[in-house]
Structures are given as C-alpha cells and as structure tokens.
Amino acid sequence: MYDIDNGETGFVLTSLAVGALLAMPLAGYLIVRNGSQQLSIVSTLVFILSVPAMAYMPGYLGLLILMPLIGVATGVMDVAINAQSVEIERLWGKPITSSFHACFSGGMFLGAGTAALFIYLGFDLGHHLLAVSVIALLVAAVSLPYFLRDDPAAAVDSGGNGSKFGLAIILLGIASLCTMIGEGAMADWTPLYMTRVTGSEEALAPMGQAAFSGAMLVGRSVGDYVRARIGSLSVVRIGAFLSFLGVSAAILFPTPLVSILGFGLVGLGLANIVPVIFSEASKVPGLRPGVGISSVSTIGYSAFLFGPPLIGFVSDYQNSLLPQGMAFFPGVEGLRVGLGLVALLMAVLLGLAVFYLRVDD
C-alpha cells in the first residue's frame, strides 16, 4: 500500500514502540490525577478510532507521524487497563489477572484470523481495519461502562520508604524486561530459526511461533487456577525454569520437532510471569497501583524496542565483540547464539525469582 521496504517498515514499527514507551510514565501520573477508569475509556476509544487511519495516510511520512500517536494510546491503555485488572483482582479476592492477559492473547489470534479471512475474501486493508474498529467499538460500548471507578485521591500505603519501593520496582522491572525480551524473541525470530537453523521447509516456519503463542494462551487460561493452588512466586520460578529449559532444548538440539516443542515450553513458562509481576507492582508499599504498573511497564516494554535488534546483532557479530579465539558460546553460531542470550536472561529471571523476588499472595 505504501510501497516501503523492510527497513522503513521496521522504522514504522519502532516509532509505534517509542510512542508507547514514552506514554507509560505519563499514564501513571494521569492515573494519580484522574483515576484509571477515565483513562481506560479515553485511551481505548482513541486507539480504536485511530487504527483505521493507518490505511488512509497520504504517504510514508504521514504514517510515521501517525504511528507514535497510536503508540501513545496503546501505552496509556495498557497501563490503565492493567490498573483496572489488579483492582478487580483485589475485589475478587483471588487471582484473576492471568485471565485478562489470556483475552489479550486470544485477541491476537482473532486479529490474525480476521486478517487472513479478509485477504481470502479480497478486501483491502482499509475495509479490514474499518470493520475491526466497528466491532471493537460495539464491544467497547458494552464493556466500558462497567469499568471500576477508582478514587485518584485515595491515600497510598505508607508502609514503605523511597529506597525500598525503588528497589522493588527495579527488581520487578528487570524481571519484566527479561520476560518481555523472551516474548519478543519468540515472536520475531522463531520463523527464521526454523528455516535457517533447523532446516525446516517454509511451510513449517510458522509452527514454532504458533507453538509459543498457543502454549501461552493455554497457560494464561489456566494461570489463575494454578496461582491459587501453588502461589504466585512458584508460578514465576517454575515458569522461568520451563522457559530456560525450552530455549536450551532448541539451541542444543536444533531439529524441527525439538525446536517446536521447546518454543511451546517457553510460551507455557512465560505465560503467567507478566500478570504476576504487574499484580505485584500494583501492591508496592508507598506507590499507587497505576504508578507501580507504569514504572514496571516502562522498564519491561523497552525490551520490544531493543531486544529483537540486540538478538540479531549478537547473532551476526558475536565474533567481533570478543578477542580473537573467544566466543560467547563455543561451537555455536548464528541465531543459536542469539537465542543463547535469551537462555541467559531466563537464567537471570530464575535467579531473581529464587533469591530476590518476594511475592505477596
């Protein structure tokens, strides 16, 4: 439609991520002033109404101007709705945030499915986005009036001091960062890993990504039940271990079947870590829930900005980063090295969960 190459497409997607990342700290401030209900409603409507414009901008420059604005709406909506979800969990009295994140994963499946359907039926991108936005507006009209009204002037828990809640936010942010780099790597690099490393045919290329996404949807669908049974900290520890195991299996045994199973294991492991982290960020003493979530989100979502390019850089240039004769992973090269970086981050996440993170169920 816009006749742009891969580099220009990447720049457009990066501008979207930059807009979202810049908006997240602002969202925390606005939640303190106005509450998450108003912010959720406004940001959701702005996002829905702006999406169809992607198909009707006058050119590449117009698209570059639009995408950061959509990113701002996305970032604000993400923080505000997560603040709503943890408030619902508090009132509910038992874990429920994983179910909301499962709906997000389900929405990704529906989005991909409707895109394939519209392409098959011969509709162009503009008609597709308009139709999806109309449906989203109808869903919003039904659901938004039921969003919880929170009191922006409510006092925060004073049971902490600046250094303590600062450390808690940093630890939760690092855990979120490790998790989201893993998610980004699975979303962006698994198709190439399947073809370039495992030697799979093109038809099998999406299967690694599908295994990851499907396992994540399943994991989030049962995540609240599992959290209620074994506790949130155990969910993070077991999830980090499963993720490390899955990535390591794909690296050490780079066959199509083992890689697909490994990527599925990563999806299952990572599924409920972010919901737990956001829930904990909302309970940091001395901070309002929206501020805690926005702070951790800003750290975590930066992964989508630099994570995938970093993996690509390490995959291609590992030999130039170290003295001659040395390597990050001796005997391993290419994308296997890039995923090795993900494996290391999963090990860091596991270490944080075992030795440093303290989760209040």
CATH class of 6-144+156-355: mainly alpha
In which residue are the tokens 């994983």 written?
98
What pLDDT is recorded for position 3?
A: 80
Residue percentage of the chain with pLDDT more than 90: 60
What pLDDT is recorded for position 337?
A: 87
Residue percentage of the chain with pLDDT more than 70: 90
CA distance 318 to 223: 37
What is the reported pTM? Answer: 0.84
Q: Looking at residues 332-348, what average pLDDT do you find?
A: 89
Does the structure show a pLDDT above 90 at 319?
no
Residue 166: pLDDT band by 50, 70, 90 thresholds? confident
Q: Rounded to a whole number, what is the distance in angstroms from the first to the last CA of the chain?
A: 50
What pLDDT is recorded for position 41?
A: 96
Does the structure show a pLDDT above 80 at 317?
no
- Specify whether the backbone of 133 is left (phi greater than 0), alpha (psi in -120 to 50) or beta: alpha
What pLDDT is recorded for position 252?
A: 94
Tens-digit pLDDT profile for residues 83-130: 999 999 989 999 999 999 999 888 877 887 788 788 888 888 899 899
Does the structure show a pLDDT above 80 at 163?
no
Q: Looking at residues 335-360, what average pLDDT do you find?
A: 91
Count the alpha carbons within 13 Å of 304 in the hemisphere toward its beta carbon. Answer: 20
What pLDDT is recorded for position 199?
A: 92
Least confident of 153-167, 183-197, 285-299, 328-342: 153-167
Mean pLDDT of the residues in the chain? 88
165: its two tokens: 């809640």
The C-alpha R_g of the chain, in whole angstroms, comes to 21
CB 313 within 8 A of CB 337: no
Amino acid at 325: G
Q: Decide which of 335 and 198 is more confident.
A: 198
Q: Decide which of 350 and 209 is more confident.
A: 350
CA distance 73 to 19: 8
Least confident of 14-18, 220-224, 318-322: 318-322
Residue 66: pLDDT band by 50, 70, 90 thresholds? very high
CB 357 within 8 A of CB 175: yes
What pLDDT is recorded for position 157?
A: 52
Q: Decide which of 135 and 6 is more confident.
A: 135
CA distance 220 to 212: 12
CA distance 349 to 173: 11
Tens-digit pLDDT profile for residues 224-276: 999 999 999 999 999 999 999 999 999 999 999 999 999 999 999 999 999 99
What pLDDT is recorded for position 265?
A: 98
Does the structure show a pLDDT above 70 at 70?
yes
CA distance 227 to 250: 28
Buried/exposed 75-110: b ≥16 CB within 10 Å, e otherwise: bbbbbbbbbbbbbebeeeeebbbbbbbbeebeeeee
Q: Looking at residues 53-61, what average pLDDT do you find?
A: 92
Q: Decide which of 335 and 245 is more confident.
A: 245
Give the number of other CB atoms < 10 A from CB of residue 304. 20
CB 287 within 8 A of CB 294: no
What pLDDT is recorded for position 155?
A: 43
Q: Which ranges in the chain belong to alpha helices (H)?
A: 6-34, 36-50, 60-92, 97-121, 125-143, 162-192, 207-230, 232-252, 256-270, 273-281, 289-301, 303-321, 335-355
Residue 296: pLDDT band by 50, 70, 90 thresholds? very high
Burial (CB < 10 A; 0-12, 13-18, 19+), residue 11, is middle
Q: Looking at residues 57-79, what average pLDDT do you find?
A: 94
Does the structure show a pLDDT above 60 at 346?
yes
Residue 158: pLDDT band by 50, 70, 90 thresholds? very low
Q: Looking at residues 315-336, what average pLDDT do you find?
A: 64
CB 20 within 8 A of CB 72: yes
